Each structure stands twice: as structure tokens, then as C-alpha cells.
């Protein structure tokens, strides 16, 4: 698929976390896949999809991350305290004061997403007159991932972080990838409404969906391939992602 530019589309890449479960002093997004930091893969995803403005949220050991951001043609914003994904996105708001297009939020630890899927989720979002769209997938083992809650009609009714799910919700196999498309101004307005009353005491970006739904706003979920949205939370995840990457490289 070509890298045709989307009108009025910017990207925010979340890359501020330490990655405690990696058992490493290296910022999580600096761990390599195919010889390049995961963050570089994600910046290249956005560039390859024709997204011209790319903002990376940096925090932990940013002195190591910022040069990579700049070398790869992206901008950065500093999240001084790592207070959750919702807070991370909110620190970029000053850069979007006069912007009224869409924002795609990507994760710096999800390096396998294809440009084709990026195109599909944006097209899906724009073809349905919704305020926000999340990329989901079905996982055989959904441990550690947020769960997508759907009603009997198949419509999205909410999303919950793993640690906040009850026993029944933990059995749900459809997981939230952490990748979203939002209408920019409604996103930042809604981020002011979320709180940190949860198990991790963090401001979760997916909580904006709860506010949208409470206001009867339409949201959507696009189901993708789990291999593509495989996030890296620990060294075992990293090895799995490297294995998928190498397999792709052989068959490409």
C-alpha cells in the first residue's frame, strides 16, 4: 500500500515509561528488534503511513531517547512524571491548540504494526462518524492487556485495564492494543475529566472512552491481528516480538 498522506492526521507516540518488568536500566522503547530500537520502528510506521507530524512523549532517561527521536525526524514532549497514558497524551496538548484534525496514538513498545493496518484503522474511523476508534485483537492469553467490553449488539460498551477487571471480565479474549484514533479537540477536552481512581493510581487513556459513552458519543473498535499489536512488557514478550519480526523478514 502506498504512503499516501492522510488529511489532518498527526501521531502521538507514547515512549516515556521505564518498563519495570524488563529488569533493565535501558528505557523500554530502546530495546532493539531487528537491530533497531522499538521506537524507531514505530516512528517509521507513522512516517510510512504518510503522517507528517509525529510527537513522541519522552520521560525516563530521556537523554537516551531524545537523540533517537530527532535523528528520525520526529518531535518530542517531556512527561516529567510518569502518571499514566492519559497524562502522557495530555502533555502534548499545547502543540495542538490550533489543530482540529485526527490524532492517532501509538505505543513505542508495539513495533510490529503494519502500515496497512494503520491505513485501515484510520479509514475505519473516518468512515463511521465516531469520536474515537480503538484497535483491538483476540488473544489466546490476554493476561496483562486491557479488555474490550461489548454489549449484546456488538457495540463497544467500555474498556478495562487488566488489574481492574473482575473474574468474568478477565475471561474476555478481545484485548485493547493501546492504539487509537481520536478527534483531537474532543480528546483533550475529555482528558481533563478522567481520574486516577484505579488499581495503579494512574490516569488511563482508555478512560476517555467511558466518558464518550456516558455522553452517548459513538466510538468504534477495529479488530486487527494480534501478532501486529503484540506489546512488550517483559523480556519474554521481547523475545516473542523478535521471533515474529525474524519470521516476517524471512518470508518477505
Domains assigned to the chain = 9-251 (3.90.550.10)
Q: Are strands 53-58 and 75-78 parallel, antiparallel or unpaired?
A: parallel
For residue 117, count other CB atoms closer than 10 A to its CB: 21
User: For residue range 200-239, what is the model confidence (pLDDT) as tens digits?
Assistant: 899 999 999 999 999 999 999 999 999 999 999 999 999 9
Average pLDDT of span 33-41: 98
Provide the pLDDT confidence category of residue 251 given band limits of 50, 70 and 90.
confident
Is the pLDDT assigned to residue 45 strictly greater than 90?
yes
Provide the pLDDT confidence category of residue 144 given band limits of 50, 70 and 90.
confident
Residues 6+ apart with CB under 8 A from 90: 188, 191, 192, 203
CA 136 to chain CA centroid, nearest Å:
11
**Cα-based distances in Å from 122 to 14, 40, 61, 79, 113:** 18, 21, 32, 26, 13
User: For residue range 74-133, what is the model confidence (pLDDT) as tens digits?
Assistant: 999 999 999 999 999 999 999 999 999 999 999 999 999 999 999 999 999 999 989 999
Greatest mean pLDDT among 37-41, 137-141, 194-198: 37-41
Q: How far apart are CA 49 and CA 114, in angstroms?
A: 9
The whole model's pTM is what?
0.94
| Residue 21 among the catalytic residues | yes
Q: Name the catalytic one among 21, 53, 126, 150.
A: 21
Provide the pLDDT confidence category of residue 252 given band limits of 50, 70 and 90.
low
Average pLDDT, the chain: 94
Q: Contact at 8 Å (CB) between 212 and 183?
A: no
Amino acid at each position: 500500500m502506498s504512503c499516501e498522506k492522510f488529511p489532518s492526521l498527526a501521531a502521538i507516540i507514547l515512549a516515556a515509561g521505564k518498563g519495570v518488568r524488563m529488569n533493565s536500566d535501558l528505557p523500554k522503547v530502546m530495546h532493539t528488534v531487528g537491530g533497531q530500537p522499538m521506537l524507531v520502528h514505530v516512528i517509521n510506521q507513522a512516517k510510512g503511513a504518510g503522517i507528517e507530524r509525529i510527537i513522541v512523549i519522552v520521560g525516563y532517561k530521556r537523554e537516551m531517547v531524545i537523540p533517537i527521536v530527532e535523528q528520525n525526524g520526529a518531535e518530542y514532549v517531556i512527561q516529567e512524571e510518569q502518571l499514566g497514558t492519559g497524562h502522557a497524551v495530555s502533555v502534548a496538548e499545547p502543540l495542538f491548540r490550533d489543530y482540529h484534525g485526527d490524532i492517532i496514538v501509538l505505543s513505542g513498545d508495539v513495533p510490529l504494526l503494519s502500515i496497512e493496518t494503520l491505513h485501515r484503522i484510520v479509514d475505519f474511523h473516518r468512515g463511521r462518524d465516531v469520536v474515537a476508534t480503538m484497535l483491538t485483537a483476540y488473544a489466546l492469553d490476554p493476561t496483562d492487556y486491557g479488555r474490550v467490553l461489548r454489549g449484546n449488539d456488538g457495540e463497544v460498551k467500555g474498556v478495562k485495564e487488566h488489574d481492574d477487571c473482575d473474574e468474568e471480565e478477565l475471561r474476555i479474549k478481545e484485548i485493547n492494543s493501546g492504539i487509537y484514533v481520536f478527534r483531537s479537540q474532543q480528546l483533550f477536552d475529555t482528558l481533563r475529566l478522567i481520574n486516577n481512581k484505579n488499581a495503579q493510581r494512574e490516569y488511563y487513556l482508555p478512560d476517555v472512552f467511558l466518558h464518550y459513552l456516558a455522553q452517548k458519543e459513538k466510538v468504534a473498535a477495529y479488530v486487527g491481528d494480534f501478532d501486529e499489536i503484540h506489546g512488550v512488557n517483559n523480556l519474554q514478550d521481547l523475545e516473542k516480538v523478535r521471533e515474529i519480526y525474524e519470521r516476517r523478514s524471512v518470508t518477505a
